[in-house]
Amino acid sequence: MTSPVRPPARILLVDDHALVRRGVRLILDAEPDLEVVAEAGDGAEAVAAARRDDGLDLAVLDIAMPRMTGLQAARELARLRPGLRVLMLTMYDNEEYFFEALRAGANGYVPKSVADRDLVEACRAALRDEPFIYPGAETALIRSYLDRVRSGAGLPERPVTEREEEILKLVAEGHTSREIGDLLFISPKTVERHRANILQKLGLRDRLELTRYAIRAGLIEP
Amino acid sequence: MTSPVRPPARILLVDDHALVRRGVRLILDAEPDLEVVAEAGDGAEAVAAARRDDGLDLAVLDIAMPRMTGLQAARELARLRPGLRVLMLTMYDNEEYFFEALRAGANGYVPKSVADRDLVEACRAALRDEPFIYPGAETALIRSYLDRVRSGAGLPERPVTEREEEILKLVAEGHTSREIGDLLFISPKTVERHRANILQKLGLRDRLELTRYAIRAGLIEP
DNA sequence: CTGTCCATCCGTGCCGGCACCCATGTGCGA
DNA sequence: TCGCACATGGGTGCCGGCACGGATGGACAG
């Protein structure tokens, strides 16, 4: 399958759960053409690791992580090491974050519900600069993607802006508009305006649905 | 460490992410005294597996799962197979989950942030019917709990009544007092009174915290 | 039998969420 | 250059959450 003279791909593995890192490492290291050479527990560590080591071929990034999320880390890594391939690993096969991951410079998008063989294949596909469509997500993600391309401008729209996501998290965590305004040094009315835009964009009714959405999306913890 | 004539402990592994199951299985199967003999992707499958196989020694349960959460599954398993030990596996190293897990009948509680050695030790401790306190979690809450257990006192009971839990779920799902009142054929003011009592009993501030509590407790789905 | 818990209900009042309306400045791309 | 998206800010008004006060009846234990 892979040339035996070729050295194994050097992989950076990023997940906030040591147990998950350990398991994924066992899976990847069992392949002769893949080798995990570095681990990180959050996005900041991942960026630091990529800064230290310029021989990395692939970063496997979890999306939901404390401090810096996988998406933010992917943007940072794409700027820092343009040649580095990025494979996003996520708990939820959510369309919004599929497009978000692509926009952040990810080469692949794999939910944790896939089998280990699919993860290995996704890594190899990313290393060949090919998009990997995991089985079962073809229907949901790709069809909605194609629908949006056919009907709209052809560009998948980002669901919420960065600023809106910042406010989304704080609203979902139960902070009032006044508290958020004080925290971000803006008027509470602006917070309400953002909140209204977020609810409208995501098709939600109130803060409560927003909270459950944020938990589903892995933006906050229950 | 373990007697060589003793057969390995038969383990049921439950997690909705195939990737995580694969990783944990690799970790556990590497131990001579532990063997994963069954896997399940959600709580319902776990209960079905326990119903099929009455020779199970230990169930390793993820807390956050679709349909039936790990906490609900733990309650069900404790009723179905009283001799079966249960080890809760969770993304969140939160003390509140710890108590919820114990109330649900769990013997141990391990966050996914622990190393693989700690998971193995937690399994062995649960099989010996000993509580496993993972490193870095010796908080005052947990220590006081252990003191209470050692001194003979029972588990702290969940203070909400059945009727209150019924209303708790509906409130957490986003229904208004009027809607709940119509649903249960009572006055919206009565719903508000119950809600106020619930918030007071659980030490929560508002519906939003109530929602997150209900999700943590496995009462509703995100 | 009396006290306690539970479930049922009511009024008043404050505050925040949320839906509408509106305007301004900035940066970016057609 | 003109429009558009984004972030910023304001006003008004309704409604529901939530805190505080009260009451009643029924079940069950001491």
pLDDT at A185: 95
Residue in the structure block whose two tokens are 């054929």: B185
Q: Order the strands of the A108-111 sheet from edge to edge.
A: A34-40, A9-14, A58-62, A85-90, A108-111
Read off the pTM. 0.71
A54-58, A155-159, A215-219, B107-111: least confidently modelled range: A155-159
Strand partners, A14: A40, A61
Does any strand D atom come closer than 7 Å to the Cβ of A207?
Answer: no
**Residue in A with minimal Cα distance to B42:** A113
Closest-CA residue to A110 (of A130, A93, A86): A93
Closest-CA residue to A198 (of A177, A178, A222, A182): A177
H-assigned helices in A37-115: 43-52, 70-80, 95-103
The whole-angstrom distance between residue A60's C-alpha and the CA centroid of its chain comes to: 10
Helices A188-202, A162-172: axis angle to 10 degrees equals 100
Is the pLDDT at B148 greater than 90? The verdict is no
Closest nt by CA–C1' to B205: D18
Determine the average pLDDT of the residues in A83-96. 77
Record: contact A27-B27, CB cut-off 8 A: no
pLDDT at A155: 40
Is the pLDDT at A150 greater than 50? The verdict is no
pLDDT at A130: 78
pLDDT at B84: 92
pLDDT at B83: 87
pLDDT tier at A153, thresholds 50, 70, 90 = very low
Name the DSSP class of B155.
P
pLDDT tier at B145, thresholds 50, 70, 90 = low
Q: How far apart are CA A93 and CA A113, in angstroms?
A: 9
Q: Which of B91, B205, B221 to mutate to test the interface with A (most CBs of A within 10 A)?
A: B91
Q: Order the strands of the B58-62 sheet from edge to edge.
A: B34-40, B9-14, B58-62, B85-90, B108-111
Is the pLDDT at B154 greater than 70? The verdict is no
Amino acid at A221: E
Q: Is the separation of the CB atoms in B100 and B216 below 8 Å?
A: yes
Burial of residue B5 (CB within 10 Å: 0-12, 13-18, 19+) is exposed
A146-150, B109-113, B135-139: least confidently modelled range: A146-150
Q: Is the separation of the CB atoms in A1 and A31 below 8 Å?
A: no
pLDDT at A92: 64
Q: How far apart are CA A89 and CA A112, in angstroms?
A: 6
Question: How long is the CA A162 to C1' C23 vector, in angstroms?
Answer: 24
Determine the average pLDDT of the residues in B138-167. 62
Burial of residue B14 (CB within 10 Å: 0-12, 13-18, 19+) is buried
3-state secondary structure of A126: helix
pLDDT tens by residue, A25-82: 999 999 999 999 999 988 889 999 999 998 999 999 987 665 556 677 887 888 888 8
Give the nearest partner residue to B212 out of A17, A116, A211, using CB atoms: A211
pLDDT at A156: 47
Record: contact B23-A18, CB cut-off 8 A: no
pLDDT tens by residue, A173-205: 999 999 999 999 999 999 999 999 999 988 899
pLDDT tens by residue, B106-129: 888 888 777 778 899 989 999 998
Determine the average pLDDT of the residues in B25-52. 93
Residue percentage of chain A with pLDDT more than 90: 40
pLDDT at A146: 47
Residues touching nucleic chain C (CB < 7 Å): A 171, 176-178, 192-193, 195-196, 199-200, 205-208, 210; B 161-164, 181, 184, 186-187, 189-190, 193-194
Is the pLDDT at A166 greater than 70? The verdict is yes
B21-30, B66-75, B76-85, B200-209: least confidently modelled range: B66-75
Determine the average pLDDT of the residues in B79-88. 88
Closest-CA residue to B169 (of B117, B106, B115, B220): B220
3-state secondary structure of B40: strand
Name the DSSP class of A88.
E
pLDDT at A154: 40
A207/B contact by beta carbon, under 8 A: yes
Q: How far apart are CA A178 and CA A184, in angstroms?
A: 10
A219/B contact by beta carbon, under 8 A: no
Give the nearest partner residue to B119 out of A19, A119, A212, using CB atoms: A19
A117/B contact by beta carbon, under 8 A: no
Collect all residues of chain B within an 8 Å Cβ-Cβ radius of residue A114.
Answer: 18-19
pLDDT tier at B137, thresholds 50, 70, 90 = low
φ/ψ of A4, rounded to 5, equals: -70, -20
pLDDT at B152: 44
Residue percentage of chain B with pLDDT more than 90: 40
* Nucleic chain D contacts, protein chain B, residues 172-211, CB cut-off 7 A: 176-178, 188, 192-193, 195-196, 199-200, 205-208, 210
B116/A contact by beta carbon, under 8 A: yes
Closest-CA residue to A122 (of A58, A194, A167, A76): A58
Q: How far apart are CA A2 and CA A122, in angstroms?
A: 15
pLDDT at B89: 85
Residue in the structure block whose two tokens are 């496993």: B132
Q: How far apart are CA A111 and CA A101, in angstroms?
A: 12
Average pLDDT, chain B: 82
- Listed in sequence order, the residues at least 6 apart from B51 whose beta carbon sits closer than 8 Å to its beta carbon are B80
Is the pLDDT at A215 greater than 60? The verdict is yes
Closest-CA residue to A128 (of A75, A78, A57, A79): A57
Q: How far apart are CA B214 and CA B173, in angstroms?
A: 9
φ/ψ of B8, rounded to 5, equals: -65, 150
Closest nt by CA–C1' to A187: D9
Q: How far apart are CA B216 and CA B222, in angstroms?
A: 9
pLDDT at B66: 59
Give the nearest partner residue to B20 out of A23, A174, A209, using CB atoms: A23
3-state secondary structure of A210: helix
- Listed in sequence order, the residues at least 6 apart from A200 whose beta carbon sits closer than 8 Å to its beta carbon are none
B203/A contact by beta carbon, under 8 A: no
Strand partners, B19: none
Does any strand D atom come closer than 7 Å to the Cβ of A184?
Answer: yes
Is the pLDDT at B92 greater than 50? The verdict is yes
A151-160, A178-187, B194-203: least confidently modelled range: A151-160
Question: How long is the CA B105 to C1' C2 vector, in angstroms?
Answer: 38
pLDDT at A2: 53
Q: How far apart are CA A217 and CA A202, in angstroms?
A: 12
Collect all residues of chain B within an 8 Å Cβ-Cβ radius of residue A207.
Answer: 208
Where does chain B show beta strands of DSSP type E? 9-14, 34-40, 58-62, 85-90, 108-111
pLDDT tens by residue, A98-144: 666 776 778 888 887 777 788 999 899 889 987 766 655 554 555 55
> Beta strands B58-62 and A85-90: pairing type?
unpaired
Determine the average pLDDT of the residues in B83-100. 76
Does any strand D atom come closer than 7 Å to the Cβ of B31?
Answer: no
pLDDT at B143: 59
Sign of CA dihedral B59, B64, B66, B70: positive
